[in-house]
Chains A and B, each alone.
Chain A
Amino acid sequence: MVEPLIALDRIGKSFDGGKSFAVRGVDLAVARGTFLCLVGGSGAGKSTLLKTINRLIEPDEGEVRLDGRSVAAQAAAELRRGIGYVFQGVGLFPHMSVAENIAVTPRLLGWTKADITARVGELLDLVGLPADFGARFPNFLSGGQQQRVGIARALAARPPVMLMDEPFGALDPLIRADLGSAYRALHDRLGLTTVMVTHDLQEAVLLGDRMAVMKDGRLLAQGEPAELLASSDPHVAALMAAPRRMAERVAARLEGGHV
């Protein structure tokens, strides 16, 4: 078997010195080009697991490998320059213009000024923002625009891997769906490998090639959405059935009937 791009090997993490585990015994492999959605209830350990990949969190047990190399053996800052990271809080630098925000990682990597300018223009276009947005400051943007900049910033240094932690969690449903499909298109066009945490099952089913379900720090199941729907685990099956049931109820209400 070909070595997956991202390989998690029996990952465990405890925040209280071993009394309880936020994540325990998780094995997960993400092949190159895959869009994986990590789902599960609040506190299931999704964010913790995701951050072990770019070493924002150091696991207490197990090993993370990226392209076959253990991430623990690489300098954390350099590792992160090669991985895009987008999260719900966005975290745009308020003292930098949009263009400067997008240019952060290329600048850390020592790109030339000309390369950076060209790349910023390209990215604004890629995430669907007008070119003159480069000179604006983040606090003059809407939430959706801010997250577009966040995605552009994460993509700037052409990382092969994107980690996204509820990237659209704070946006209204229309913009959310819009931005979600726009990003999926980018994923395909750029040949990215994406791990996206979301607690929105519908979003996961719509965007993801594969899904992984977490509960209480454990990985319950993983596979293509259709496979998971047939899961023998009642929790997974119920979880997977939820979007369809919801859609049916919504349709019924809109047609004027009672459910």
Chain B
Amino acid sequence: MDIMISGLRRRFGRVEALRGVDLAVPGGMFGLLGTNGAGKTTLMRVLAGVLPPTSGRVLVGGHDITTRAGRLAVQRRLGYLPQDLGLYPDLTTHEFLDYVGLLKGLDDDAARRRQIGELLDMVGLADVARRRLKGFSGGMRRRVGIAQALLGDPALIVVDEPTAGLDPEERIRFRTLLAQIAGHRTVLLSTHIVEDVAQTCQEAAVMASGRVVFTGPVTGIIDRAQGATWEVVTQGPPPSTGVVVSAVGRPGGTHYRVVSPTKPDPAAVPVQPSLEEGYVALMREAVPS
């Protein structure tokens, strides 16, 4: 299911969370990066049919999300993991998934149960299937969240910061899982963790203050810092121009990596940028400080 968004606006009282978003999301895994408050969650809630747009056009798999019929058509093939999903503490893992499955319209009891079993195995929760959700750790809750999103074999999967707060191993497991299931589906992944996008997405968009400031192949983000990423080794203070992305103290002096359009220090040497550095360069252009 591909997504076509044009001129999408959404306001909350005086706050305009989305100020004219234009975005095309093809199939496969697609990353959505952006600062806090950039509007990622708002965009995802609109796509999930939870929030009506204030104005603009949103087509998901050809269905107009602003009509009731279009919204239902999308929701029938959607898996959505909201940011900060809350689970019912008084249900067990299996019951919670069963409930979501029923509401998704998986009416065949045997098929639904089989699918829940497979998903529980997949996210490693099979042995706590009969335990109440009350008292689950953050990582376990996240896994339940992912499992419910995958129920019903959705063609579009929208996951809002699924890896926030997970330990590195768990995070890697998670994003690999998402990349595996991406296959012929569309997976829209929002995150603050640039590395997750670097490792799993071919294409990505970057949002800032309610607008999309970049969209295209992930390498395009890296290109933004091409010729603008430097390494400076010094025993003195850090370079004063540009953004210091990393600082590693070594015996010979501190190694700084700096994103700056101009050479930040006479001794600076140009280096190959990473995705994170590309992101920093992009943000400097988009939101001049």
Chain A bound to chain B: no
Which A residues have a C-beta under 8 Å from some C-beta of B?
Answer: none
Which B residues have a C-beta under 8 Å from some C-beta of A?
Answer: none
